[in-house]
Amino acid sequence: MSDIYDSLPLTSIAATVLDVLGVNPPEGFAPANDIVTEKAEAAFGGKADRVFIYNPDAVALWLFQKYTGLFKKALLRSDLQIPMLSVMPSVTPVCFASMYTGVMPESHGIKAYVKPVLKAHTVFDSLARAGKRCAIVSTSGDSISEIFRERDMDYFIYDTHQECNKKALELIAEDRHSLIVLYNGNYDATMHKFAPESNEALAALEENVETFSQMHDAICSTWKGHKTLMGFCPDHGCHEIDGGMGSHGLEMIEDMNIIHMFSFIK
Confidence of residue 113 (pLDDT cuts 50, 70, 90): very high
Q: Please tell me the CATH code under which domain 12-265 is placed.
A: 3.40.720.10
What element of type H or E holds 235?
none
How far is 105 from 128, CA to CA, in rounded Å?
Answer: 23
Average pLDDT over residues 93-101: 98
Q: Give the H or E element holding residue 131.
A: none
Mean pLDDT score of the chain: 97
Report whether 63 contacts 205 (CB < 8 A): yes
The span from the CA of 177 to the CA of 51, in Å, is 9
pLDDT band at 220 (very low <50, low <70, confident <90, very high): very high
Q: What is the pLDDT of residue 136?
A: 98
3-state SS assignment for residue 207: helix
The answer, yes or no, to whether residue 8 has pLDDT greater than 90, is: yes
Q: Is 38 exposed, middle or buried (0-12, 13-18, 19+ CB in 10 A)?
A: exposed
Specify the pLDDT at position 199.
97
The predicted-structure confidence for 21-72, as pLDDT tens digits, reads as follows: 999 999 999 999 999 999 999 999 999 999 999 999 999 999 999 999 999 9
Q: Give residue 120's pLDDT.
A: 97
Report the alpha-carbon distance of residue 128 to residue 236 in Å, rounded.
Answer: 27
Strand partners, 245: 241
Model confidence pTM above 0.75: yes
Phi, psi (rounded to 5 degrees) for 111: -125, 15
The band of 2, judged by pLDDT with boundaries at 50, 70 and 90, is low
Angle, alpha carbons 98-104-109 (nearest 5°): 85
